[in-house]
Structure 1
Amino acid sequence: MTKVLLLAVAAGFMATSAAAEFKFTFDWSGLKLCTTGKPNTVANPRFKISGLPAGTTAVQFKLKDLDVPGYNHGGGWVKITQDGTVSANSFKYKSPCPPSGKHTYEWTATARTKKGGKKLAVAKARRKYPE
Protein backbone atom coordinates (compact mmCIF):
# COMPACT_ATOMS: atom_id res chain seq x y z
CA MET A 1 0.00 0.00 0.00
CA THR A 2 2.85 2.39 0.86
CA LYS A 3 4.57 1.69 -2.47
CA VAL A 4 1.34 2.38 -4.37
CA LEU A 5 0.85 5.65 -2.49
CA LEU A 6 4.45 6.73 -3.14
CA LEU A 7 4.11 5.92 -6.84
CA ALA A 8 0.87 7.89 -7.05
CA VAL A 9 2.48 10.90 -5.32
CA ALA A 10 5.55 10.67 -7.59
CA ALA A 11 3.37 10.46 -10.71
CA GLY A 12 1.36 13.50 -9.58
CA PHE A 13 4.57 15.43 -8.86
CA MET A 14 6.02 14.56 -12.26
CA ALA A 15 2.82 15.64 -14.03
CA THR A 16 2.80 18.92 -12.09
CA SER A 17 6.50 19.49 -12.79
CA ALA A 18 6.04 18.91 -16.52
CA ALA A 19 3.21 21.44 -16.70
CA ALA A 20 5.22 23.95 -14.64
CA GLU A 21 8.03 23.85 -17.23
CA PHE A 22 5.86 25.46 -19.93
CA LYS A 23 6.90 29.12 -19.97
CA PHE A 24 7.84 31.93 -22.34
CA THR A 25 9.54 35.29 -22.53
CA PHE A 26 8.92 38.46 -24.53
CA ASP A 27 9.88 42.13 -24.51
CA TRP A 28 8.51 45.36 -25.89
CA SER A 29 11.56 46.20 -28.03
CA GLY A 30 10.65 47.97 -31.25
CA LEU A 31 7.17 48.92 -30.01
CA LYS A 32 6.33 52.57 -30.69
CA LEU A 33 5.67 54.43 -27.42
CA CYS A 34 1.95 54.86 -26.76
CA THR A 35 0.56 56.63 -23.67
CA THR A 36 -2.65 58.18 -25.01
CA GLY A 37 -5.05 55.45 -23.91
CA LYS A 38 -5.84 54.75 -27.57
CA PRO A 39 -3.94 51.55 -28.53
CA ASN A 40 -2.50 51.02 -31.98
CA THR A 41 -2.93 47.80 -33.94
CA VAL A 42 0.56 46.34 -34.01
CA ALA A 43 2.46 43.13 -34.74
CA ASN A 44 3.12 40.77 -31.86
CA PRO A 45 6.46 40.75 -30.08
CA ARG A 46 8.86 37.84 -30.52
CA PHE A 47 8.09 35.07 -28.03
CA LYS A 48 10.51 32.38 -26.92
CA ILE A 49 8.70 29.37 -25.46
CA SER A 50 10.24 26.52 -23.52
CA GLY A 51 8.78 23.35 -22.08
CA LEU A 52 6.14 22.89 -24.77
CA PRO A 53 3.89 19.99 -23.79
CA ALA A 54 4.04 16.93 -26.06
CA GLY A 55 1.42 17.13 -28.77
CA THR A 56 1.37 20.94 -28.99
CA THR A 57 0.88 22.18 -32.55
CA ALA A 58 -0.76 25.56 -31.87
CA VAL A 59 -0.47 28.26 -29.22
CA GLN A 60 -3.06 30.93 -28.53
CA PHE A 61 -1.82 34.26 -27.15
CA LYS A 62 -3.96 36.87 -25.37
CA LEU A 63 -2.88 40.19 -23.86
CA LYS A 64 -4.49 41.66 -20.75
CA ASP A 65 -3.86 44.98 -19.01
CA LEU A 66 -4.00 43.98 -15.35
CA ASP A 67 -4.80 47.60 -14.42
CA VAL A 68 -7.78 47.69 -16.82
CA PRO A 69 -8.71 43.99 -17.17
CA GLY A 70 -11.97 44.64 -19.03
CA TYR A 71 -10.24 46.07 -22.11
CA ASN A 72 -9.75 43.50 -24.89
CA HIS A 73 -6.26 43.84 -26.36
CA GLY A 74 -6.78 40.72 -28.44
CA GLY A 75 -4.13 38.25 -29.43
CA GLY A 76 -3.72 35.50 -31.96
CA TRP A 77 -3.06 31.88 -32.84
CA VAL A 78 0.20 30.52 -34.17
CA LYS A 79 1.31 27.15 -35.41
CA ILE A 80 4.27 26.21 -33.29
CA THR A 81 7.38 24.16 -33.84
CA GLN A 82 9.16 22.35 -31.06
CA ASP A 83 11.92 25.00 -30.96
CA GLY A 84 9.28 27.32 -29.46
CA THR A 85 10.14 30.50 -31.32
CA VAL A 86 7.25 32.72 -32.40
CA SER A 87 8.47 35.40 -34.78
CA ALA A 88 7.37 38.99 -34.50
CA ASN A 89 4.66 39.80 -37.06
CA SER A 90 2.88 36.44 -36.63
CA PHE A 91 -0.40 38.12 -35.61
CA LYS A 92 -1.83 41.58 -34.80
CA TYR A 93 -3.16 42.87 -31.47
CA LYS A 94 -3.94 46.19 -29.76
CA SER A 95 -0.75 47.60 -28.24
CA PRO A 96 -0.25 48.53 -24.61
CA CYS A 97 -1.14 52.21 -24.26
CA PRO A 98 -1.84 53.36 -20.70
CA PRO A 99 -3.20 56.94 -20.50
CA SER A 100 -1.15 57.80 -17.42
CA GLY A 101 1.76 56.13 -15.72
CA LYS A 102 2.80 52.49 -16.11
CA HIS A 103 0.48 49.52 -16.34
CA THR A 104 1.24 45.84 -15.90
CA TYR A 105 0.44 43.74 -18.96
CA GLU A 106 0.17 39.98 -19.04
CA TRP A 107 0.40 37.70 -22.04
CA THR A 108 -1.27 34.31 -21.62
CA ALA A 109 -0.14 31.47 -23.87
CA THR A 110 -2.34 28.39 -24.16
CA ALA A 111 -0.73 25.30 -25.71
CA ARG A 112 -3.23 23.22 -27.69
CA THR A 113 -3.26 20.09 -29.85
CA LYS A 114 -4.53 22.24 -32.74
CA LYS A 115 -6.29 25.58 -33.22
CA GLY A 116 -9.36 25.29 -31.01
CA GLY A 117 -8.23 21.83 -29.89
CA LYS A 118 -7.56 20.29 -26.50
CA LYS A 119 -5.85 22.58 -23.98
CA LEU A 120 -2.53 21.07 -22.89
CA ALA A 121 -1.07 23.82 -20.66
CA VAL A 122 -1.18 27.55 -19.90
CA ALA A 123 1.74 29.91 -19.25
CA LYS A 124 1.77 33.61 -18.36
CA ALA A 125 4.39 36.34 -18.61
CA ARG A 126 4.10 39.93 -17.29
CA ARG A 127 5.89 43.20 -17.97
CA LYS A 128 5.33 46.85 -17.19
CA TYR A 129 4.67 49.29 -20.00
CA PRO A 130 6.23 51.68 -20.57
CA GLU A 131 9.33 50.12 -19.08
Structure 2
Amino acid sequence: MAIVVPAILEDDWDNFRNKQEAIIKIPGVKRIQVDFSDGQFTSHKDLQISELDILNPAFEWEAHLMVNDPRAYFFEAKLVGFTTVLFHFEAIKDKNEISKLAEELEILRNFPQPEQTF
Protein backbone atom coordinates (compact mmCIF):
# COMPACT_ATOMS: atom_id res chain seq x y z
CA MET A 1 0.00 0.00 0.00
CA ALA A 2 1.34 3.42 -0.91
CA ILE A 3 1.72 6.01 1.83
CA VAL A 4 1.10 9.64 1.00
CA VAL A 5 2.93 12.08 3.28
CA PRO A 6 1.98 15.75 2.93
CA ALA A 7 4.94 18.09 3.29
CA ILE A 8 5.21 21.68 4.45
CA LEU A 9 7.89 24.01 3.08
CA GLU A 10 7.51 27.50 4.53
CA ASP A 11 9.57 30.49 5.55
CA ASP A 12 6.64 32.24 7.22
CA TRP A 13 5.20 31.14 10.58
CA ASP A 14 1.58 32.08 9.78
CA ASN A 15 1.66 30.21 6.47
CA PHE A 16 3.20 27.20 8.23
CA ARG A 17 0.44 27.20 10.85
CA ASN A 18 -2.29 27.54 8.19
CA LYS A 19 -0.90 24.59 6.21
CA GLN A 20 -0.49 22.52 9.35
CA GLU A 21 -4.10 23.17 10.39
CA ALA A 22 -5.35 22.23 6.91
CA ILE A 23 -3.30 19.02 6.77
CA ILE A 24 -4.35 17.69 10.17
CA LYS A 25 -8.00 17.90 9.03
CA ILE A 26 -7.40 15.55 6.09
CA PRO A 27 -8.89 12.13 6.89
CA GLY A 28 -6.34 9.33 6.97
CA VAL A 29 -3.25 11.50 7.35
CA LYS A 30 -0.97 9.96 9.95
CA ARG A 31 2.39 11.40 9.00
CA ILE A 32 3.49 14.93 8.09
CA GLN A 33 6.85 16.05 6.74
CA VAL A 34 8.31 19.48 7.37
CA ASP A 35 11.17 20.68 5.17
CA PHE A 36 13.96 22.79 6.63
CA SER A 37 16.64 24.58 4.64
CA ASP A 38 19.51 26.60 6.10
CA GLY A 39 20.07 28.84 3.07
CA GLN A 40 23.50 27.23 2.59
CA PHE A 41 22.78 23.68 1.46
CA THR A 42 20.07 25.17 -0.72
CA SER A 43 19.70 28.79 -1.75
CA HIS A 44 16.40 29.22 0.11
CA LYS A 45 16.11 29.57 3.90
CA ASP A 46 12.95 28.30 5.58
CA LEU A 47 11.54 28.29 9.08
CA GLN A 48 13.95 26.75 11.55
CA ILE A 49 13.08 23.96 13.96
CA SER A 50 13.71 26.30 16.88
CA GLU A 51 10.82 28.49 15.67
CA LEU A 52 8.25 25.71 16.04
CA ASP A 53 6.00 24.93 18.97
CA ILE A 54 5.70 21.37 20.21
CA LEU A 55 4.06 19.35 17.44
CA ASN A 56 0.75 17.54 17.82
CA PRO A 57 1.66 14.01 19.02
CA ALA A 58 -1.38 12.50 17.27
CA PHE A 59 0.76 12.48 14.10
CA GLU A 60 4.15 11.12 13.10
CA TRP A 61 6.34 14.07 12.15
CA GLU A 62 9.29 13.90 9.74
CA ALA A 63 11.95 16.60 9.61
CA HIS A 64 13.51 16.80 6.14
CA LEU A 65 16.82 18.57 6.67
CA MET A 66 18.23 20.31 3.61
CA VAL A 67 21.13 21.67 5.62
CA ASN A 68 24.93 21.56 5.71
CA ASP A 69 25.15 20.10 9.21
CA PRO A 70 22.20 17.76 9.88
CA ARG A 71 23.59 16.66 13.25
CA ALA A 72 23.16 20.21 14.60
CA TYR A 73 19.38 19.83 14.20
CA PHE A 74 18.79 16.40 15.76
CA PHE A 75 18.23 17.41 19.37
CA GLU A 76 15.89 20.32 18.57
CA ALA A 77 13.95 18.06 16.21
CA LYS A 78 13.45 15.54 18.99
CA LEU A 79 12.42 18.21 21.50
CA VAL A 80 9.58 19.58 19.38
CA GLY A 81 8.26 16.12 18.51
CA PHE A 82 9.78 14.91 15.25
CA THR A 83 9.95 11.11 15.17
CA THR A 84 11.90 10.82 11.91
CA VAL A 85 14.80 12.84 10.55
CA LEU A 86 15.68 12.76 6.85
CA PHE A 87 18.88 14.33 5.56
CA HIS A 88 20.83 14.40 2.33
CA PHE A 89 23.71 11.96 1.94
CA GLU A 90 25.90 14.65 0.38
CA ALA A 91 25.50 16.87 3.48
CA ILE A 92 27.74 14.46 5.41
CA LYS A 93 31.35 15.17 4.53
CA ASP A 94 32.81 12.09 6.24
CA LYS A 95 30.72 9.12 5.12
CA ASN A 96 32.03 7.10 8.09
CA GLU A 97 30.01 9.48 10.26
CA ILE A 98 26.73 8.06 8.98
CA SER A 99 26.82 5.08 11.36
CA LYS A 100 27.57 7.48 14.23
CA LEU A 101 24.62 9.62 13.18
CA ALA A 102 22.39 6.56 13.22
CA GLU A 103 23.57 5.77 16.76
CA GLU A 104 22.83 9.34 17.86
CA LEU A 105 19.37 9.16 16.37
CA GLU A 106 18.73 5.87 18.17
CA ILE A 107 19.80 7.48 21.44
CA LEU A 108 17.51 10.42 20.76
CA ARG A 109 14.67 8.06 19.91
CA ASN A 110 14.85 6.78 23.47
CA PHE A 111 15.05 10.29 24.94
CA PRO A 112 11.84 11.08 26.85
CA GLN A 113 9.40 13.42 25.15
CA PRO A 114 8.45 16.64 26.96
CA GLU A 115 5.00 16.82 28.48
CA GLN A 116 2.57 17.72 25.73
CA THR A 117 -0.97 18.98 26.01
CA PHE A 118 -3.32 19.71 23.12
TM bin, normalised by shorter chain, reads under 0.3
- TM-score normalised according to structure 2 size: 0.27
Could you say which structure has the greater relative contact order, defined with CA pairs below 8 angstroms and 6 or more residues apart? Answer: 1
